[in-house]
Structure 1
Amino acid sequence: MADYKRIAEHWNEVFGKTETGQIKTTDVGHDDLNKALDWLCFNSESIIDFGCGIGVMLFKCCLRGTKIHKGIDISDKGIRVAMELQRINNFEGFTFTAGGVEELDKIVDDSFDGAILANIIDNLFPEDAVKVLAEIKRILRTGGKILLKLNPYLTYEKIKEWNIKIIDIDKNMLDDGLYLWNQTAEEWRGLLENYFSVVEYKEIYYPEYDQYNRLFLLCNDKK
């Protein structure tokens, strides 16, 4: 596995400044993402979130009625905040683990109904991203659902304008402070369809950042 120590340190700094408090509603602040979470949680009892950060998406799932939740993140400070949020809000049915791709190896087959991969797959090196997809396929039950969200695709003009470092031009790997596997939506679709069927694809706009994220809703119907 690639070295993500610098990335972990970045997120430790970010999450170390996070204030904890009550989580009272299912709303995540974006209509499209709310609808995606509604879809993910419908008839789902157990959800795994790889790259969970401080666990907010899992807590929003819990408020939608899911019962069993597993969060994994490379940031140990993020995991500590998640555990504190769980305690403050008296949420039950949660397990949080600090770690990377290797933590997925420890989870048994066919043990979860749904998975969240939000702005994480394209922040991994290709070999690790493929490993995560294969592991999520193994971990999910047949018919399991995946909410997968990607960062914006950066054109060559934007890469030059923003002076983003190119790590490997053949693999479309960039370093903008975080690692970015910079593929088009169609390139991602081609990869994802090796593991899952695509239920829906949508570009969702974040006005506060003036950018789009790319949202795939996937089904694990190819056991």
Structure 2
Amino acid sequence: MNSKYDKYINQWNNIFSKEIPKVPTNQRSGNRALDKGIEWICNGTKSILDFGCGNGTMLFLCALNGTKYNIGVDLSEKAIENAQIRAKQMSKGEYRFIQGSIDALESISDSSFDAIILFNIIDNLYPEDAEVLIKEVERILCSNGKLLVKLNPYITLDQIIEWDLKVIKDNLLDDGLILLNNTTEKWKNFFSIKFNICKYNEIYYPEFEQTNRMFWLTKK
């Protein structure tokens, strides 16, 4: 899987190489809509996995919201390096960070996690990899386990033309990263095959003038 994402791994390595690793000092992210999702997935949760964890921020927030066992997986070596440095600064939670792809999930036992986070990752994969990831997530989650998914905004045809984005094929774009540009309805259909949709809400980030989409899901 890695070779087709090498370009993007290099981009993230470059971004994280400029970062000064610091950890959150309280359980709030600063975005109320996001915080509600974090509170929901952490409620009653001991073990949580974040695939596409970057520098570990979401897991650190989860630990401050009560999770105990926190595992992160990311393709970027530098992101994982930063996450490991930051974990040593945390007063709460136990952490393990793994540099790797979906293949890294294969060694994780069935029904072994209470909750999983997929933030701006499943729609930054090729469609065939998104299918594999969601199957692995279902396998790893315990019965009635929680899944919190955050997606990039849907880009309209007019925006694709205006921003001169590259269309790889159908709804697969290259906007600097791979973007699986599904409508919200198409994502609902995708998730509802294996998960119950408890809630859908949108998160506005004023600093980016961008709205992300969030699904609160439980395993069927």
Q: TM-score range by the shorter chain?
A: over 0.9
Residue 89 of structure 1, CA deviation: 2.6
> Shift of the alpha carbon at 1:203?
1.6
Instruction: Please say if residues 118 and 150 of structure 2, whose CA atoms lie closer than 8 Å, have aligned partners that are also in contact.
Output: yes
C-alpha distance in 2 between matches for 1:20 and 1:184: 35
The runs of at least 4 aligned residues of structure 1 exceeding 3 Å deviation read none
Q: In structure 2, how many angstroms separate the alpha carbons of the residues matched to 1:72 and 1:91?
A: 19
Cα-to-partner distance string for 1:160-198 (whole Å, 9 max, x where unaligned)? 1001000012xx100011000000000000000111010
Name the structure 1 match of 2:89.
88
Mapped to 2, the partners of 1:177 and 1:94 lie a distance apart of 31
Instruction: Give the distance between the partners of 1:107 and 1:24, measured in 2 at CA.
Output: 30
TM-superposed deviation, 1:211: 1.6
Alpha-carbon deviations, 1:133-173, whole Å to 9, x = none? 1100000001110110000000010001001000012xx10
**Residue identity in the other structure for 1:153:** Y
1:34-45 correspondence runs (5 A)? 34-45=35-46
Question: What residue number does 2:207 align with?
Answer: 208
Query: Which residue matches 1:164?
Result: 165
Cα displacement (A) at 1:88? 2.2
Matched, 1:57 2:58: yes
Aligned twin of 2:184: 185
Paired residue secondary structure (1:83)? helix
Q: Distance in 2 between matches of 1:208 and 1:14?
A: 18
| Count, aligned residues | 219
Shift of 1:92: 4.2
Alpha-carbon displacement from aligned partner over 1:34-78 (angstroms, at most 9, x marks no partner): 010000000010000000000000000111111101100010100
Task: Please name the residue that 1:176 is paired with.
Answer: 175
Which amino acid is 2:183 matched to?
T
3-state SS, counterpart of residue 108 of structure 1: coil
Q: What is the DSSP-based 3-state SS (H/G/I as helix, E as strand, rest coil) of the residue aligned with 1:3?
A: helix
> 2:200, 2:214 within 8 Å by CA — same for their partners in 1?
yes
What residue in structure 2 maps to residue 73 of structure 1? Answer: 74
Letter in 1 for 2:159: K
Cα deviation for residue 209 of structure 1 reads 1.4
Q: Tell me the amino acid that sits aligned with residue 157 of structure 1.
A: D
Larger deviation, residues 89-98 vs 146-155? 89-98
Measured in 2, the distance between the counterparts of 1:89 and 1:60 equals 10
TM-score (norm 1): 0.96
* SS in structure 1 at match of 2:118: strand
Contact 2:154 2:181 in 1 (8 A): yes
RMSD: 1.0
Q: Structure 1 unaligned segments of length 5 or more: list them.
A: none
